[in-house]
A and B are shown apart, each in its own frame.
Chain A
Amino acid sequence: QSNSYTSKIVDTENLPMIGATINEVGTQNYTVTDLEGLFTIETESQDFQLDISFLGYETKRVYVTNGNIPELIEMMPAAGQLDEIVVTALGIKREKQALSAGVSKIDGTTLRVVPQTNLVNSLAGNIAGVQITNGSSGVGSSSRIIIRGENSISGRNEPLFVVDGVPISNQLITSDLTNDGALQEVDFGNGASEFSPDDIESISILKGAGSAALYGSRAANGVVVITTKRGEPKKGLGISVNNTITFETLLTLPDYQNEYGGGSNGEYSFQNGTGAGINDGGLASYGPRLDAGLLINQFDSPSVDLDGNPVRAGDVLSRKRPDGTYTPIEATPWVSRPNNVRDFFETGLTTQNSFAISNGGENGSIRVAYNNLRNEGILPNTDLKRDGVSIAIDQKMTQNFRFDGFLNYINSRSNNRPNLGYGYENVVYGFNWTGRQTDIAAMKDYWQKGYEGLEHYDINYLWLTNPYLTLYENTNSFNKNRVLGNGALTYDITDKLSFRVRTGVDSYNDDRAFKRVVSTNRNPFGSFREDKIAYREMNTDALLSYNDKISDDIRFSVAAGGNRFDQKIDYAYSEASQLSIPGIYTLANSRNPLKGTSQIFTKRINSIYGIGNISYQSSLYLDLTVRNDWSSTLPSENNSFAYYSAGMSYVLSNMFELPEAISFAKLRFNASSAGNDTDPYQLNNTFQFNQNYGSFFRVTNETVLKNANLKPERLNALEAGAELWFFGSRLQAEVSVYQNSSINQIIGRPISNASGFSNIIENGGRVTTQGLETRISGKIIRSKTFNWNASVNFSTYRSEVTELPEGVDQFVTGDAKFFGGSGGSNAIFYIAKEGGRVGDMYGTGFVKIDGKILYGANGLPVQDGNLRLLGNYNPDFSLGFGNEFSYKNLMVNVLVDWRQGGVLASRTKALGSTAGILKETLVGREEGIIGEGVMNIGTEENPNYVPNTTSVSASRFNNNFYDRGNEESSIYDASYVKLRQVGIYYTFSDNVTKTIGFQGLKLGIVGSNLLLFTENPHVDPELNGIQDRNFTYGVEDMSYPSTRSFGISLKSEF
């Protein structure tokens, strides 16, 4: 039997609302209000809930018990969302409208739409002014985050990560492998990547120095403030379980040619892989035509050993007769294998599971969570495993005394992380030199017959190393145990005065092991190395705060406090650079004296700070902050430095009658000045230990000249912003403009080696960054069943060097290796000239006559050693476009990311062209290449330039044109458009979930990095390389293919 219930919907002015939608929760029972605002709904139940929705107003849920429905239901404008609370510096919560500096907030739910394996990546494309770049070694790679461009030219531009008001480490501590010479870089991930998004309630990004001034020096590049999830007051246990499984496949791969195999001059024949055959010790892919019916001896062609047993041709040791000749090889078809590299990669598999249980009541709450990640990478035998346990507690101990705490234990580990960079330890480098006919899968059995564990099996024994051997035997493992947590005690002395002490710790031990098997090119005797890193950071602060009002219109708060920061990093390694017995990986098995070092870095900062806020009529807010730091890293006479900020927020819509369409309007201004210190031990030079010569102990000077007169850096920031909301909250627009001036930067400036040092630590230069960010979001379609929300964020910035250090006419801010050979290295130099942009890259290139490349009499392009501007690695702008569609229980989320401008120097392009593996190297294979440009038919003194007519073989031409020391030939536009993420979720209706005993159940299909549009057909321009323990900018360094991932996500609540 059904009853009917009637009520009236009104707005805050008591006027009827026409056309509001009423839905009985959990049913398909809908109705709308009439011209008087009245509705009638029929239902069988006496206890039910109604959801009332109206455009521009907060959806309201009405609970009806025993059939008692209220006569009037009042709706609040959605502008009521203005009460949105944002966590700002020191964990202080503020109304968003009171903020004077740029802050973006992102909810945990948004972060989790498409679960990412690296927390930093989930911020990509979502927030104006935040730029994310990924590492290239798949799941577990480091991601770099830059907020509002680069203020510092020293490369230290990463924001500070803060959990519940206490900083944590996002430091990238790579092993110092390149100085070793025998090993290549390995990316073990950035610190913040390990934090589980499932433990996050929300993230606030404090963008400007203004909002960050209270966090001290590390916050000058912005702050990522993470607020952890807490137990929620509810009846019974709240249990939530999230499960995601995703698959990773290749998004990019070099565009290979498939018409010519390995060799030179159209010739190839395998004999022993060291030159005894025809070009079988060579590396180029300018060999015989593929798929032309040829039969050619290859490394995997059948042969016999000396006893006549079948072996592969590449089992050369068993084929070699005492007289130095080899047993015969049975030639096999010389055919293309277009997917040989693609098929080498496996489908990556990642599962992420989290389980959380929470409860809360009047006096406190608790939340306990466990999450794990299991990844098998796209490269064979690479993986990442992570387990995290967290516990969050809030407890009221007396009426005035409470404790909040968060503790997180994370274990991350891997049996093998792939090597990066230039050299055969990176399998992609090997593929570059592997003829296109090669059946790479035939290399899986990677030992030579009869020499298992001693000699590997390969296509070329001069230069290459079997990629399966590399990945299965030459492993880089790590095991990292991390504890981070914080606890705070708050005592409300009166209802206006309260005192809080809080301490936080981030501590981890990371043990790494590097194994190298015998017979590889770089380590013929094998090697073994262990790295141990112990990191500890501790922050303790105390804050006394007082809130009061002078009248109802004027309220104020003041707070004062202090902080101590301690950081200690222990780094040690020991290495057996050659093994005595193959296959035994222990330091005791060393043929040579062990190599190694142990180093300790410590640092302390003491701080005091004060805050004052005053507000008038909830419309005009004034904020003042001041902080002073004393850092152990600076000379005693300069180790004290202050920070100031002043800000104003003015909510016009609360003060004036604005046109009806405008529901909210706010202007804000902020000015701030922040200081910064440096790393430990930058003041005095010391001697470094060099390994012994025999029994003679050796020391040498550092290459960096330290400076005992360093001053703190200073960053001055100005920011103005406006926010306008239209039609309730239906359309929201925000715009910020800012200018950051960085003065007295502490950098290790490259100087002439002839001065005795290669870098000098000094204060110098002024970099000014100006930028603009906007965000427009709207609820484009709202209806009973279909909704579409969209948002666009746009940001652009430009950093210029506006003042050079004294006596310096151009400012070299760094360099990136591009090619190192026995005749000297080629680097890309980042040079800031006065008025030049930060990120300008200089390198060598071609001699040009009126813009046309000059060719010599030999038909090859003429290069000179002069540095010239190649481009700038910074984008002109970036734009993110997010969409959320919902139709009944279905929700679709789509995020597109567009980066425009900037250039990338690609080593994949340079090497691939030299080797002849890329598709574009097919041009001119038969007829030769006439380079486009001019030649000189006059004399050197009286030149006469005419169009070049000299034809050269493609192999010689490409070898010279794409000379690896000629950076100009391998520059790409780094612009791209990416379909960053798609999530499609179906929420099961309450009827369904209740039947199976759930409180909520969502099933989703998720995908990341699904599509990429860019000029470079070979690599993803977004990936960044790591060289010498740092990220490299604007240089792609034999990066692994980037991946797309897709899978299924299930979110359930009990």
Chain B
Amino acid sequence: CTKDFETINENPNATENIDPQFLLANVISVLANENTYTQGFRLSNYLTQFAASVEFERIDRYEMGTNSEYWQILFGLLTDINSMQSVNGTNEAYIAVGDIMKSYIFSQLTDLWGDVPYSEALKAKEGITQPKYDTQESIYTDPNTGILAVLHQSAETLGSTTASINGDVMFSGDLEKWVRFANALQVRYTMRISKRISDFSNLKALVNSGKLMESNGDNAVLPYLNTAPNQFPLSQVGLGLYQEHRMTTTVETILKSWNDPRMEVIYRPSEKSASSGEPKYTGLQNGQSRETISANNIDLAEISLFGSIYRDVPNGVDALFMLYAEQQFALAEAAEKGFIDGDVEQYYTEGIKAHFNYLGLDVPVDYMNQESVALAGDGNLEKIMTQKWFSLVSNGHEAWFNIRRTGFPVLTPGPDNLNNDRYPLRYLYPESEQATNAKNYTEAVSRIGGDNINTSNWYD
């Protein structure tokens, strides 16, 4: 009498097998949106002082929290990549692209939290429900399994494979672009750990390979779309959430010192100045409580908000992974520090030009000759890093990682910060790790020197 039980208990609502392309489309598009909106726009823009809060956003006052949803989403996407790499129909191209995305995700995890599960991660099916944490150093540098090694190997594979992929919402299956992206990520992560390594031969090889990003056409981005659910979320949210993100005095000071028209694309004139016919861009100091804003008699109608591309159209911006501009700034820094041969100024200029062009602007005549912009030996690094900073607006937490590592641009914590005037260096581990993975959590916490936001990273 139990003959048909297996049929009854067969789930008619979903499938146990799927073509890898549907997982690939999911991983890229979900991750790009998380990186750009939830992480970049909603969180990191405060830490990096592209945005200042007026009411609610605790992160602007360095009450960092755990960022636990992102932790959960990242590991979920890693599971999707595992599936993509193992379902029927996968091939070495899917596997290599999957490894690039995995490397990207694990770098996010270790850059945000420090030591994280890596070698034992994603093994619930094999019975490991409490994975141990690996050191940040080994996650990046393990010669076989580290992020840099995996990216290198993936680029090699994609350079020689005859397999092809579908569902590639970013590069439309152009594997050469994936190779350039994988190599650009190696540049990014090599610079990330550059204080702790001395062998830059791989970086040099990459520069000489001709397989780095070569223009904005190689940007690792995908557009937001006109219809739900792929609209830029800020274009759909309530007014309060939009107005929580104000232009900052940091942006005002720096961009005005550059006479930089990019400010007018990223931000909009204050409501009062716009209606009075004399549009002005005014920033708000970061890290002020509502009481302080009120006590300082700040008229919020005189403060600039984010620009029209973020709010007035659903597809005004891209979901970002990495821009060509960022790679060029990284190479400028590498050349400036002597890690690679090459012309610092050329990389620097190319980076600025690429970002202007990306925003649909030309670099103004004389822009590069301004004292605040032109490289002059002393202070080159600060100039490179500050230009790089602005090219990373809303691009995940990348600008924050650079500030942590180099100290540029120099940011002043806001007056009402809740971290004793210290600049935060990481997120707290999710509470769920204390609950579900207590032993390994405790071990990692004691190894990194405490689960608090001021614990520094190995590479900083």
| A→B interface (CB under 8 Å) | 263-265, 267, 274-276, 278-279, 281-284, 286, 322-325, 461-463, 521-522, 524, 577-578, 591-593, 595, 597-600, 602-604, 606, 630-633, 636, 639-640, 680-681, 683-694, 696-701, 703, 705, 750-758, 760, 807-810, 812, 815, 820-827, 829, 831, 842, 844, 856-858, 860, 864-867, 953, 955-956, 959-960, 963, 965
Which 5 pairs across A and B sit closest by C-beta, in order of nearness?
A: A324-B275, A823-B65, A462-B240, A686-B14, A521-B238
Assembled-state Cα–Cα distance A639/B58 (Å): 52
Q: Which of B411-457 contact A (CB under 8 A)?
A: 418, 420, 427-440, 451-452
- Contacts A632-B5, A639-B5, A754-B117: A694 and B130 contacting too (C-beta < 8 A)? no
Most chain B Cβ neighbours within 10 Å, of A697, A701, A756:
A756
A281 touches B55 (CB 8 A): yes
Assembled-state Cα–Cα distance A975/B8 (Å): 46
Per-residue CB proximity of B99-138 to A under 8 Å, as 1/0? 0000000000000000011000111110011110000000
Q: Is B154 an interface residue (CB 8 A)?
A: no
Chain A positions within 8 Å of B79 at CB level? 701, 756-757
- Contacts A633-B9, A812-B436: A698 and B121 contacting too (C-beta < 8 A)? no
CB distance from A441 to the nearest CB of B (A): 24
A752 touches B131 (CB 8 A): yes
Assembled-state Cα–Cα distance A266/B330 (Å): 49
Q: Which of B219-261 contact A (CB under 8 A)?
A: 225, 227-230, 236, 238-240, 243
B55 touches A756 (CB 8 A): no
B121 touches A754 (CB 8 A): yes
B25 touches A705 (CB 8 A): no
A823 touches B43 (CB 8 A): yes
Assembled-state Cα–Cα distance A186/B137 (Å): 48
Assembled-state Cα–Cα distance A684/B361 (Å): 53
- Contacts A694-B169, A867-B434: A325 and B291 contacting too (C-beta < 8 A)? no
User: Of B66-74, B183-191, B209-217, B332-340, which stretch is located at the interface?
Assistant: B66-74
CB distance from B8 to the nearest CB of A (A): 4
B228 touches A693 (CB 8 A): no
A463 touches B14 (CB 8 A): no
A700 touches B23 (CB 8 A): yes
A826 touches B239 (CB 8 A): no
User: Of B194-202, B294-302, B379-387, which stretch is located at the interface?
Assistant: B294-302
Assembled-state Cα–Cα distance A603/B306 (Å): 53
Chain A positions within 8 Å of B377 at CB level? none
- Contacts A275-B54, A324-B275, A823-B64: A705 and B294 contacting too (C-beta < 8 A)? no
From the candidates A276, A284, A750, A822, name the one contacting B300 in the complex (CB within 8 A): A276
Chain A positions within 8 Å of B75 at CB level? 753-756
Chain A positions within 8 Å of B67 at CB level? 823-824
B291 touches A756 (CB 8 A): no
CB distance from B19 to the nearest CB of A (A): 9
Assembled-state Cα–Cα distance A690/B131 (Å): 28
B57 touches A822 (CB 8 A): yes
Q: List 13 A-B contacts (CB under 8 A).
A: A275-B54, A524-B236, A639-B5, A681-B13, A684-B11, A697-B22, A699-B22, A755-B121, A756-B121, A822-B42, A823-B64, A829-B432, A865-B434
Chain B positions within 8 Å of A820 at CB level? 69
Assembled-state Cα–Cα distance A577/B228 (Å): 8
Chain B positions within 8 Å of A810 at CB level? 435, 438
Q: Is B83 an interface residue (CB 8 A)?
A: yes
- Contacts A685-B16, A686-B14, A956-B289: A705 and B228 contacting too (C-beta < 8 A)? no
| B→A interface (CB under 8 Å) | 1-2, 5-6, 8-16, 18, 22-23, 25-26, 29-30, 38, 42-43, 54-59, 63-72, 75-76, 78-80, 82-83, 116-117, 121-125, 128-131, 167, 169, 225, 227-230, 236, 238-240, 243, 271-272, 274-277, 289-291, 293-295, 299-301, 418, 420, 427-440, 451-452
- Contacts A633-B9, A639-B2, A700-B76: A753 and B432 contacting too (C-beta < 8 A)? yes
B129 touches A867 (CB 8 A): no
Chain A positions within 8 Å of B69 at CB level? 820, 824-825
A683 touches B9 (CB 8 A): yes
B130 touches A755 (CB 8 A): yes
A705 touches B435 (CB 8 A): no
From the candidates A699, A701, A822, name the one contacting B59 in the complex (CB within 8 A): A822
CB distance from A926 to the nearest CB of B (A): 14
Q: How many A-B residue pairs lie within 8 Å, measured between CB atoms?
A: 301
Chain B positions within 8 Å of A693 at CB level? 25-26, 29, 169, 225, 230
Chain A positions within 8 Å of B43 at CB level? 822-823
* Supplied contacts A691-B228, A825-B68, A842-B435, 12 more A-B pairs, CB within 8 Å: A265-B294, A274-B239, A323-B275, A323-B277, A591-B228, A592-B227, A699-B26, A750-B432, A751-B129, A807-B129, A808-B129, A824-B69
A705 touches B438 (CB 8 A): no
B238 touches A524 (CB 8 A): yes
B243 touches A275 (CB 8 A): yes
A809 touches B238 (CB 8 A): no
Chain B positions within 8 Å of A703 at CB level? 72, 76
Chain A, residue nearest B272 (CB):
A324
- Contacts A265-B295, A754-B75, A755-B130: A698 and B29 contacting too (C-beta < 8 A)? yes
CB distance from B215 to the nearest CB of A (A): 24
Assembled-state Cα–Cα distance A699/B167 (Å): 11
Chain B positions within 8 Å of A323 at CB level? 275-277
- Contacts A630-B1, A630-B5: A592 and B434 contacting too (C-beta < 8 A)? no
Chain B positions within 8 Å of A697 at CB level? 22, 25
Chain B, residue nearest A699 (CB):
B22
Chain A positions within 8 Å of B14 at CB level? 686-689
Chain B positions within 8 Å of A821 at CB level? 56, 58, 65
A282 touches B15 (CB 8 A): no
CB distance from B126 to the nearest CB of A (A): 9
Chain B positions within 8 Å of A276 at CB level? 271, 299-301
Assembled-state Cα–Cα distance A965/B55 (Å): 16
B26 touches A755 (CB 8 A): no
B430 touches A686 (CB 8 A): no
Chain B, residue nearest A520 (CB):
B238
Chain A positions within 8 Å of B72 at CB level? 703, 753, 758
A754 touches B274 (CB 8 A): no
From the candidates A461, A692, A867, name the one contacting B435 in the complex (CB within 8 A): A867
Chain B positions within 8 Å of A640 at CB level? 2
Chain A positions within 8 Å of B433 at CB level? 752-754
- Contacts A267-B294, A282-B55, A592-B227: A752 and B239 contacting too (C-beta < 8 A)? no
Chain A, residue nearest B25 (CB):
A696
B243 touches A462 (CB 8 A): yes
Most chain A Cβ neighbours within 10 Å, of B70, B125, B439:
B125
B431 touches A955 (CB 8 A): no
Chain A, residue nearest B82 (CB):
A756
- Contacts A521-B239, A680-B11, A683-B9: A751 and B430 contacting too (C-beta < 8 A)? no
CB distance from B58 to the nearest CB of A (A): 6
CB distance from B82 to the nearest CB of A (A): 7
A752 touches B437 (CB 8 A): yes
Chain A, residue nearest B227 (CB):
A592
Assembled-state Cα–Cα distance A463/B55 (Å): 11
Chain B, residue nearest A826 (CB):
B431
Chain A positions within 8 Å of B169 at CB level? 693-694, 696
CB distance from B298 to the nearest CB of A (A): 10
A865 touches B451 (CB 8 A): yes
CB distance from A697 to the nearest CB of B (A): 5
B435 touches A750 (CB 8 A): yes
Most chain B Cβ neighbours within 10 Å, of A265, A820, A842:
A265
CB distance from A1018 to the nearest CB of B (A): 23
From the candidates B121, B167, B295, name the one contacting A696 in the complex (CB within 8 A): B167
Chain A, residue nearest B428 (CB):
A865
- Contacts A696-B169, A754-B75, A756-B124: A824 and B68 contacting too (C-beta < 8 A)? yes
CB distance from A435 to the nearest CB of B (A): 14
Chain B positions within 8 Å of A687 at CB level? 14-16, 18, 22-23, 83
Chain A, residue nearest B239 (CB):
A462
From the candidates B64, B228, B438, name the one contacting A592 in the complex (CB within 8 A): B228
